[in-house]
Structure 1
Amino acid sequence: MERPRLFLIDGSSYIYRAYYAIRHLSNSRGMATNAIYGFTQMLLKVLRQYRPDAVAVVFDSKGPTFRKEIYPDYKANRAAMPEDLVPQIPVIKQVVRAFNLPALEREGYEADDIIATLARRAEASGMDVTVVTGDKDLMQIVSEHVRLLDTMKDQVYGPKEVAERFGGPDRVIEVQALAGDSSDNVPGVPGIGEKTAKQLIDEYGSLENLLANLDRIRQPKRRANLEQYAELARLSRRLVALVDDLELDVDPAELRLPEPDREALEQLFLECEFHQLRQELAGERQQERGEYRAVLDKAALDELVERLRQAERFCFDTETTGLDPLRAELVGLSFAVEPGRAWYLPLGHAYLGAPKQLDRRLVLDRLAPLFADPAIGKIAQNAKFDELVLRRAGLRLEGLVFDPMIASYLARPASRSHGMDAMAAELLGYRPISFEEVCGKGKSRISFAEVEVERATDYAAEDADITLRLADRLEPMLKETSQEKLFYEVELPLERLLAEMEWTGVRIDADFLAGLSEEFSARLRQLEDEIFTLAGTRFNVASPKQLGEVLFERMKLPRGKKTKTGWSTDVEVLTRLAEEHPVARLVLDHRSLSKLKGTYTDALPKLVHPETGRIHTSFNQTVTATGRLSSSDPNLQNIPIRTEEGRRIRESFVPDEGWLLLSADYSQIELRLLAHMADETTLKEHFRSGEDIHRRTAAEVFGVFPEMVTDEMRRSAKAINFGVIYGISAFGLAKQLGISRGEAQTYIDGYFARYPKIRAFMERCIAEAKEQKYVTTLLGRRCAVPDIDSRNANVRGYAERNAINYPVQGSAADLIKLAMLRVRRRLASGKLRSRMVLQVHDELVFEVPENEVETMRQLVREEMELAIELDLPLVVDVGVGTNWSQAH
C-alpha cells in the first residue's frame, strides 16, 4: 500500500529566500509585496508540482528560544530583519491560512524543532515526509521515509546525499558541533571546518568518542584546540541538535490537503495586485461566457453589417498571422456592440477540414464604409496595431473613440500591465482564453490561420467582448482621475499620428551601413590587438569569464569583485579600472562599438520592409512612467548623438530622392520646464536673456563674472543643472565630476542658495508623492511613485528622485506630444506633402520635399515653440540635411 505523503514547509526559511530572490516589488499604494509574491509562488509550485496528500507550513516564533537561553550569542550576528520585510510576514501567514493550511509555530522553539517533531511522528504513523527547506540543519532528520526538498535548486536530499556530505544523518550534529555554523553563530572549534570535522567524525564516530581519544590526534595545534574548546563543542552540539519530541496539538495523520478559500485568496491577491495569480486562481472563468457566433454565410454577414451600422459605437479586434502589423496577414475580425455578445468573421483559416469562409474581398468591401464612417465610434485595444492591419488590407479607420490600453495607462499609472488579460483579471475578475491556449507556445506554436474556426471564434469574439467591457469600466475612471482631457485631446489623437508615422517609416542607406559595418569590424580588430598587447595574451574579449580571469588573475589589476559565476566585469567595475589602467578603457570602447555594430549597422538592413524599402519602427505609447514615447523593433531612440560612431549611424538615415530631412529639437527643454514649474525667477531671467545657461549657472554658483568661468566650471555647472532634475546627490555628483563628496556638496549648496525655489519645488514634489503616491505634469498626467514610503532606504531614495524628475520629464513628454499634434494639423490644413517620420526624446524628424523646406522651417519652429504657454520662451533648433546626422 502506498504511504501518504506529508510536505512540511519551512516557512521562515522561504520568507527570506523569497525576499532576496525578488526585489523592489510593490503595489500601487507602495506596500512592499516581493516576499509575499515569492512565497506564494513557491507554495503554489509545491502544491501543483508534487500534489501532496497533506501539507503544513511552519514558522519560527517571535520571542527568544531555549537556545538563546543556553547561549546568549546564538544567532547574534544575524542582521536585523529588513524594514520592508516586517509588514509582509503577517500577510504571508494570511496567504497560508487562505490556502486552508495550518501555519504552525511554538513559543521558545524554532521552526526546525516543530518540523523534526512532526516528521518523526508522521514517519512512525506510516507517512512519507518531504521537508521543503534550504536549511542544512534539517539533514539530521533525514531517513528512509524523510527527505529534504530545496525547490530553489530542485535538489532532493535523502540518506545517500546526506551521507556524502556529513557521513550520514546521525552524524550531522556531530560534524556541526566541531565545524560550527557561522550563519547561526554556532561557535564550534576554532580552526576546524566542515571537511576536517567530517574526517574526524568518520574516524571516531561521534564528538564524545573523539574527545575521549584526543591522545591519538597527531597534529599538536588541532589536539590543543580540541582540548581547549571541548565544552564549546559540546555546547555547539546542543545548539544544532533539533528537538523532535515536542508536545504539539497536531496529528500528522489528520493533515489532509483541503480546498483553498478562494474568496480569501482573491481578496489578498487583489490587495497585493497579483493580477496573474488572480487569473490562475480563477481557473474556470468566473463570469458567464458571452454568446459568441461565427459569421460564415452572407445572411449572417448581412445581419452583422446592419447591426454595426445601427450602433453608435462598436468594438473590433483583428486576428493575424503575426505580430508585425505591416507584414502579417489578416485572418479574421471580431466585433462586439454590447457586453456578452460578439461575432467572429473568419477570413483566412487554412487547415485540413476548415469550413468554407466568405470571400475576403466581398467582406472587406462591405465593412469598408463602416470603418471609414467617423459618425460610428470605434473601440479597440492597442488600436494602432489594428489600424495598421486594416490599412494594409485596404481599409481606412475613422472614428476611433476609445482604446482601453491607453485609458488604463492614464487612469491606472501604477499598474504593471495594460494588456487585456491583466486588465480583465484586475478590473473584471475575469480570465480570458490566452493566446497560448489557442496557438500553443515555443516550437509547437501554430499560426492563428491554423486554429480551428470554432476555437478561434471563442477566443477572438471574447477579445472583442472583454475589450468593450473594459472600455465601459475605464471610461468613468478617466473622469475620476482627471485624465479625460489628456486622453481625448492628446493621447488618442496621438495614437492615430503614430500609426501614420509607423506606416510611413524611414529610409536607410543599406550600402552605407554595410561599409560602416566593415569600418567598425576593422576598428574592433584594432582594439582587440591593443587589448591583447596590454594583457600579454589573446582571449575572447566578449567573454566576461575570460576577461575577468585576464584582468584580475593574469594582470592582477586591483578593485576586482567576485560574483557567483566569476569576476565581475560590468560597466561600473571597468569604469573604475579605466582610471588606473588603459586596458579597461579599451574594453569599454570595444563593448560600445560591438553593441552599435550588432544593434544597428548589422541589424538595420535586415529590418528593411521588402515591400516599402523602408524601416518601420514601433512607437510605444504606454511603457514609460513619465509618458515619454519609446520605440522598438528597432529601437531608434538609443542611437548615441554625442559619439562619432552614433553620428555615423545617423548618416545612414536618408530621405527619398528629391527630398531632405528636417530635424527640430527643443533646446534645454527640461531645464526651461524646471525654471517655469519651480517659478525660479533668476533662472527664468537667464533663459529670457538668451545666455549660455551653464556658464551663467557656473557664475552664480562659483561667485565669479561669466567672463571668468572656466571650461571646468561650466562642466560642473552643467552636471549640476541636469543632475538636479534627477535628484542627484553629493555622492553622485562627486562620482560624475571626479571630485570629493564634500566639494560636490558645496557645489550643490551653492546652487540651491542661488536658486532656492528649485529646492522648494523638489520638496513639494516629494511631499505630493508621499500624500498621493503619484506626481503630476503640467497637463495633469499622473506619474506613479508607489515606493515613496518604502522602508528600504535605497528603494525610497530612488522613488524620491523619481518624484522630482517625473513632473519635469513628464511635462517634456506632454509638450512634444502637443507639438506633434499641432504640426500634424498644420500639415493637413496646408495640404503639405512633408511627413513626420521620427520622434526621439525632444526631437522631431521630418521628410520634406525640397520646395517645402523653408515653409517647414518656419511652420515647425512656430508650432513647437507655441505648443504650451510658459513664463519663459521655448527655443527650437531646426536643421536640414541630406541625412539625419547632417540635419541634426
Structure 2
Amino acid sequence: MIREKIEYKNEPVFLIDGSSFLYRAFYAYPDLKRSDGLPTNAIYIVIRMLLKIVKEEKPEYMGFFLDGKGPTFRHELYIPYKAQRPGMPEGLSAQIEPLREAVRILGIPEYTAQGLEADDLIAGYTEIFKSKHPVIIVASDKDLKQLLDDHVYLWDPGAKNAEILDCDGFRRETGIGPEQWPDYQALVGDSSDNIPGIPGVGPKTALNWLKKFPSLEELQAGLDELKPKEQEKLREHMDDVFLYRRLTKLKPDCLSGAGLETLKTRPADPVELQKFLDEYEFKSLKNEIPGSQELKHEQSREKGGVQKAWAEKEELPDCRGQITGLYLGQDSYLVALEDQEWEVSKKTPPIEKLEFCKKYVFSLKDLYRENQDWMQEPVSGFFDISLGVYLLNPEERDYSFDRIFRTYAPEIAVHRENRAVAALKIGQMVEKRLDAAGLLGLMQELEMPLVPVLCRMESAGIGIDLAAFDNFLRQVKKSLDDLTASIYSLAGKEFNIRSTQQTAQVLFDELGLKARRKTPKGAYSTSNVVLESMRRDHDIVDLILQYRTLEKLRSTYLEPLPRKVDVGGRLHTTFNQLATATGRLSSSNPNLQNIPIKGEFGPRMRACFKPSKGKLLVAADYSQIELRILAHMSMDPNLLQAFGGNEDIHRRTAGLLFDKDIQEVSQDERRKAKTINFGLLYGMGPQKLSRELSISMEEAKEFISVYFSKLDRVRDFYQQIEEKAQEQGYVTTMAGRRRLLPDINSRNTNMAQQARRTAVNTVIQGSAADVIKKAMLAVDSDSELRSLGSVMVLQVHDELLLEVDAPVAQKAGERLARVMAGVESLEVPLLVEWGTGENWAEAHG
C-alpha cells in the first residue's frame, strides 16, 4: 500500500491524471471490444486501476481529472503546440462518457475545465492542499514531476515496478530539483507536445547546464562560461527557450477557494456498478468489487469448485473424446473440463487420458519441448492459442499467457490462477474469431502442422566446423588490429572506434568533416548509411566502415556461435512463428537467418557450417519468388512473358527502363533495374532509391515513373491493394493471412503512406512466406525424402537446407527441388535452384 510508504498526519489526497491513463490504455490494449464492436479497452483498464486504488488505498479524498475541451493558453502562446497530434480517435472518444459514468458510480469526484489541461487542474489542487495533506499524484505524465515537493508524491500504478517517486528520489535520479524540471523540458523539448527545444541539446547536456546554472535566467547570464559550440547552440534559441518553459510550466494558480470537501469520496454503488460491468461485458472486474471474493468462493463450493489433485490423490478422469484446456506449469500440468480443473505431476504426463480429445493449449511448441511424447498425438488434436491470437493480430509481438489473459479476461470471468480453464475458454473464443475472419483454414492446414516440423529442426541442429571458425576469427582479429592502427594514424589520436559518440567527435569536431544527419536526440549521426555517403570525404571513413563489418563478424558470429554448440558440435537455433507481421519465420538464440550470404565474407562464413561425418548438405532455394508472385497476382504481361520464357527478369526490366534490347543492356543498367524491381516491392520511395543508385531525386522519380508506365498492370495491382486496404482496414496474402492496417486512413500523411507501403509489401512478402511454409510441410512429409534418410536442418528466408547421406545426396537434391516447385500453382514457374556440398557455402553455390 502507498499509505505505508509515506509519513502523514492528515489523510492523503489522491489526484488522478485520467487523460494520460486513458490514452495509454487505448493504445496499449487495442483489441478489447464489446460483442457489438464498441471499443472498451480504455474504460476497462482505467476502471481496473481505480478499483485497485479504492480497494487497497481506501482514499477519503480523491479526484479524477480530464483535459477540458478547446484550446488552452498554450495554444495562444505558441500556435504549433500539439499541432502534430491527430484528433482523438473515434474509438477513444466513444469511451469518454461511459468512463465518466463509471467514475461517478465508484464515488470519485471528477473534474474537467474548459481551456485547461488535467495537469493544470492537478497543479492547482496540489498547491491548495500540499501544506496540510500529503498529495499523491497518480499519473504517467512526466510534466507532473515539477510538482514534487516535501509532501507531494508521484505514483504510476501501471508502471513495471509501480514505485512511488518523491522529491529526494527525483534529485537522485536527475541531479536537479523538481522546480527546475520546466527549464529542463524547455531545453530538450517534448515531441509529444510539439515543443522543439534547442537543436542538438540532449538530456545529458541540459542536466549538466542546470546543475551549474539553476535556472534559464542564470544560464543566460552565464552564457560566456559555456564552451564555444554550446554558446552557439544556445544563443540563437535563447528567446525561444523562455517561451518553451512557459508552455511546459503548469498553472498552480488556476483554482481559487477549492475546499477539501470537493474531493470527498463516497462508497461505490454496488448495484449500479454490477449493472455497468454487465453492460460493458467486464465480467472479470466483478471479482474486484468489495465482497466479490467471498461470493465467488461460496459459488465455487456450490458448483464443486476447482479440483486440484496430484496423482496420489484424486486422479484425473479419463478425458478421451472430451474438449479440454491444458496448461503447462512449472512442475505440473493443469487440465480443465468445463469449469473443473485438475493438477497432474509432470512425472506422469496425462497423455493417454487426453487421447482423441481437443486440447486447447497456450503454446504447443512449449508442450512438445517439455515432453516429445506429446508429438505422438496428431497435431489436429491441439489448438495453439498463441498462434491463433497471432493470426488475428500479427502486430502484437507479445503472445505470452499474461498478455493473452489480460486481453480476454473481461470476457471469460475466470480467475487468473485457473489457467487450464482459461485455456479452454479463451481457446474456444479465439477459434470462433479465426473462423469468422476466414483464418481457421490457415491455422489448421499450415501454421499448426508446422509446429512439430520446427521442433524437429530445432532438435536436429546444424553442425559447425570449429577449426574453420577459429581460423576465420584469428584472421579477422588481425585485420581489426591493422585497421585500428590505420584509423588511429589518420585520426591523430586513439579513441574507441566502437563508440558512436567518440567516432562523431573525431569525424566532425576534430577532422572537421561535414555532418549529414542528426539522431533523434540531436547528436551527429555516424550510422552506416551516413558514413556510406561520406566515403569520398576522408580516407578514415572507408576504414571505419571496414572495421564495423569485421567487428560485427567477430562479435555476432565468430566468437559467440562456437560457445553455443552442444557436445556433438551442433548448433541449435529457435524458429519463431510469432515474430513477424508478414508471416515469415525468424530465428533466434542464435539468429541463423542473418548469417551473411553474399559479399566478401558470406561464402567464408557459410563454409563454417558442415554436416555430420559421412553426410552432405543439400541447399535449395526459390529463385526470385517474390517477383514471380507479383507476376502471378498482377498478371502483368511483361513479367509473365519474362518468367515464362525463363529470361533474366532484371535484364528484361532494364530493357524496358532504358528502351533497349535485352542483349544491349549493360551490367550497370541491370543492377539499377534489379534495385528497382526489389525496391518497389518493399515500398522504396524516390529518396531511398536515389541513395541506393547514387542518383538525384529527379532521376529516381523518373525511373519510378517509367517503371510503372511500362509495367502498368503492376501499377494497377498496387493501387488495388491500397484501395482494398483503405476500404476494409487490412490486406490478405494468397493463403488468406491477414494483416491489420489501422493507419491506412490516418489524417497523418506520413503514417498513411507508410501503411500503404506496408500493404503492398505484406501481400507479396506474406504470400512468399506462405509458400516456403507449405514447402517445409511438403518436404517433411515426403515419403521419398524420408526413405533417403534426409533431415531438414535449417530454413533461411526462401532456402531450405537438408542433411543427407553422401551417396544419395544428388537424388535427394533432385527430389527436394521437385517437391518445392510443386507446392503452389502459379501463372509462372516456381523455379528452384539447388546444390550439394561438404559445407553450406558449397551446397548454396
TM-score (norm 2): 0.77
1:817 aligns with 2:827: no
The worse-fitting range, judged by mean Cα deviation, of 514-523 and 866-875 is 514-523
Query: What corresponds to 1:388 in structure 2?
Result: 369
Q: How does 1:297-336 map to 2 (within 5 A)?
A: 297=312, 300-301=314-315, 304=316, 307-308=318-319, 310-312=320-322, 314-319=324-329, 331-336=331-336
| Displacement of 1:768 | 1.8
Partners in 1 of 2:512 and 2:71 — Cα distance?
Answer: 47
Out of 539, 549, 553, which is 1:592 matched to? Answer: 549
State how far apart, in whole Å, the 1-side matches of 2:393 and 2:150 are.
54
Determine if the alignment matches structure 1 residue 555 to structure 2 residue 502. no
Cα deviation, 1:185-208, whole Å, max 9, x if unaligned, reads 9xxxxxxx9958459999xxxxxx
How big is the shift at 1:265?
9.9
| Among 256, 260, 276, the residue aligned to 1:252 | 260
Task: State the partner residue of 2:467.
Answer: 511
1:831 to 2:787 alignment:
yes
> Partners in 1 of 2:62 and 2:285 — Cα distance?
20
Q: Partner amino acid for 1:307?
A: D
| Contact map agreement 1:279 1:425 (CA 8 A) in 2 | no
CA distance in 1, matches of 2:177, 2:454: 68
1:730 partner letter: P
Residues 1:574 and 2:550 are matched in the alignment: no
Closer/same/farther in 2, CA of residues 97 and 719 from structure 1, 3 Å limit: farther
What are the Cα deviations for residues 239-258 of structure 1, in whole angstroms up to 9, with x where unaligned? 9996847567x533331356
Paired residues, what number? 761
Q: Which moved more, 1:108-117 or 1:574-583?
A: 108-117
Alpha-carbon offset, residue 384 of structure 1: 2.3
User: After superposition, where does 1:25-104 map in structure 2 within 5 Å?
Assistant: 54-58=61-65, 61-63=68-70, 74-76=77-79, 78=81, 80-83=83-86, 90=93, 98-100=102-104, 101-104=108-111
Backbone CA RMSD of aligned residues: 4.9
Tell me by how many angstroms 1:93 deviates: 5.3
In the aligned structure 2, how far is the partner of 1:184 from the partner of 1:629? 40
Q: SS in structure 1 opposite 2:578? A: coil
Closer, same or farther: CA 596–743 of 1 in aligned 2, 3 Å: same
Cα distance in 2 for residues equivalent to 1:552 and 1:810: 42
Alignment of 1:406 with 2:387, yes or no, is: yes
Alpha-carbon distance between aligned partners in 2 of 1:595 and 1:681, rounded to the nearest angstrom: 43
What SS does the corresponding residue of 1:853 show, helix, strand or coil? helix
Secondary structure (helix, strand or coil) at the match of 2:660 reads coil
Task: Kindly state the Cα deviation for residue 538 of structure 1 after the two structures are TM-superposed.
Answer: 0.9
1:25 and 1:33 in contact (8 A); partners too: no
Helix, strand or coil: the match of 1:294?
coil
State which of 531, 540, 562 in structure 2 corresponds to 1:583: 540
Instruction: Tell me the distance in 2 between the aligned counterparts of 1:428 and 1:150.
Output: 25
Quickly say closer, same or farther: Cα 1:600–1:241, change in 2 above 3 A.
closer
Deviations 1:657-690 (A, max 9, x none): 1110000010000000001101112211011111
Which residue pairs with 2:434 in the alignment?
478
Q: How far did 1:693 drift?
A: 0.7
Name the counterpart of 1:294: 309
Q: 1:465 to 1:747 in 2, by over 3 A?
A: same
Q: What code does the residue aligned with 1:539 have?
A: F
What secondary structure is seen at the aligned counterpart in 2 of 1:844? strand
Choose which of 127, 130, 133 in structure 1 pairs with 2:133. 127
- CA pair 828-316 structure 1, distance change in 2 beyond 3 A: farther
The answer as to whether partners of 2:731 and 2:738 remain within 8 angstroms in 1 is yes
- Whether the aligned pair in 2 keeps the contact of 1:315 and 1:378 (CA below 8 Å) is yes
Residues 123-157 of structure 1, C-alpha deviations (whole Å, 9 max, x = no match) = 68x43446677559977xx9876x58597998756
The residue number in structure 1 matching 2:230 is none
* Of 674, 679, 689, the match for 1:733: 689
Distance (Å, rounded) in 1 between the aligned partners of 2:527 and 2:58: 42
Alignment partners' CA distance in 2, 1:760 and 1:502 = 42
The 5 Å alignment of 1:534-545 reads 534-545=490-501
Determine if contact 2:126/2:252 at 8 Å carries over to the other structure. no
Deviations, residues 352-408 of structure 1 (Å, cap 9, x unaligned) = xxxxxxxx5xx46xx67667x6x55554332123223322x7984445422222233
1:665 aligns to 2:618 (yes or no) = no
How far is 1:710 from its partner?
A: 2.0
Q: Tell me how far 1:795 sits from its aligned partner.
A: 2.4
**Cα distance change on mapping 1:851 and 1:6 into 2, 3 Å:** same
Give the one of 734, 756, 760 matched to 1:800. Answer: 756
Question: Where does residue 455 of structure 1 map in the other structure?
Answer: none
1:540-689 to 2 correspondence within 5 Å? 540-559=496-515, 561=518, 564=521, 567-610=524-567, 612-689=568-645
Task: Give yes or no for contact 2:323–2:359 (8 Å, CA) kept in 1.
Answer: yes
Deviation at 1:116, TM superposition (A): 6.0
For the structure 1 residues 281 and 756, does the alpha-carbon distance in structure 2 shift closer, same or farther, using more than 3 Å as the test? farther
Letter in 2 for 1:838: L
Counterpart in the other structure of 1:712: 668
Where 2:77 maps in the other structure, the secondary structure is coil
How has the CA–CA distance of structure 1 residues 617 and 264 changed in structure 2, closer, same or farther, with 3 Å as cutoff? farther
Q: For the Cα contact (< 8 Å) 1:618–1:631, is it kept in 2? A: yes
Distance 1:342 1:130, change over 3 A: closer
In 2, Cα distance between equivalents of 1:239 and 1:813: 48
Structure 1 residue 729, shift from structure 2 partner? 1.4
Distance 1:721 1:11, change over 3 A: same
Equivalent residue letter for 2:81: R
Q: Give the CA deviation at 1:696.
A: 0.8
How far did 1:760 drift? 1.1
Cα distance in 2 for partners of 1:390, 1:857 equals 32
Deviation of the 1:497 alpha carbon: 1.5
- Shift of the 758–44 alpha-carbon distance from structure 1 to 2, 3 Å rule, reads farther
TM-score by length of 1: 0.73
Give the whole-Å Cα distance in 2 for the aligned partners of 1:681 and 1:278. Answer: 62
SS of the equivalent of 2:533 reads helix
Partner of 1:491: 447
Alignment CA distance shift 1:698-1:6 (3 Å): same
Alignment of 1:418 onto 2:399: yes
**CA pair 154-318 structure 1, distance change in 2 beyond 3 A:** closer
Q: How do residues 132-531 of structure 1 correspond to structure 2 at under 5 angstroms? A: 147=152, 197=217, 244=253, 246=255, 251-256=259-264, 291-297=306-312, 300-301=314-315, 304=316, 307-308=318-319, 310-312=320-322, 314-319=324-329, 331-336=331-336, 338-347=337-346, 360=347, 363=348, 375=356, 378-391=359-372, 396-398=376-378, 400-401=380-381, 402-413=383-394, 415-429=396-410, 462-531=418-487
Give per-residue Cα distances to partners, 1:787-807, cap 9 Å, x unaligned: 222333332222111100111
CA–CA distance in 1 between the matches of 2:685 and 2:796? 28
SS across alignment from 1:474: helix
1:864 aligns with 2:820: yes
Stretches of structure 1 lacking an aligned partner (at least 5 in a row): 177-181, 186-192, 203-232, 321-330, 348-359, 435-458
Which whole-Å CA distance do the structure 1 matches of 2:284 and 2:611 have between them? 45
Secondary structure of the residue aligned to 2:534 is helix
For 2:77 and 2:444, the matched residues in 1 are separated by 63
Contact 1:827/1:834 (<8 A) preserved:
no
**Code of the aligned partner of 2:672:** S
Deviations 1:690-735 (A, max 9, x none): 1111111011012112222222221211111011211221122112
After TM superposition, the structure 1 = structure 2 runs for residues 725-804 of structure 1, keeping only pairs within 5 Å, are 725-804=681-760
Task: Return closer, same or farther for 1:416/1:264 CA change in 2, 3 Å cut-off.
Answer: farther
- Bigger radius of gyration among the two: 1
Give yes or no for contact 1:571–1:588 (8 Å, CA) kept in 2.
Answer: yes
In structure 1, the residue corresponding to 2:508 is in which secondary structure? helix
The 8 Å contact of residues 284 and 414 in structure 2, kept in 1 or not, is answered as: no
Cα gap change, 1:865 to 1:689, in 2 (>3 Å): same
Q: Is the 8 A contact 2:287 2:293 kept in 1?
A: no
Contact 2:31 2:407 in 1 (8 A): no
2:360–2:424 Cα contact (<8 Å) kept: yes
Q: Once the two structures are aligned, what percentage of the paired residues are identical?
A: 32
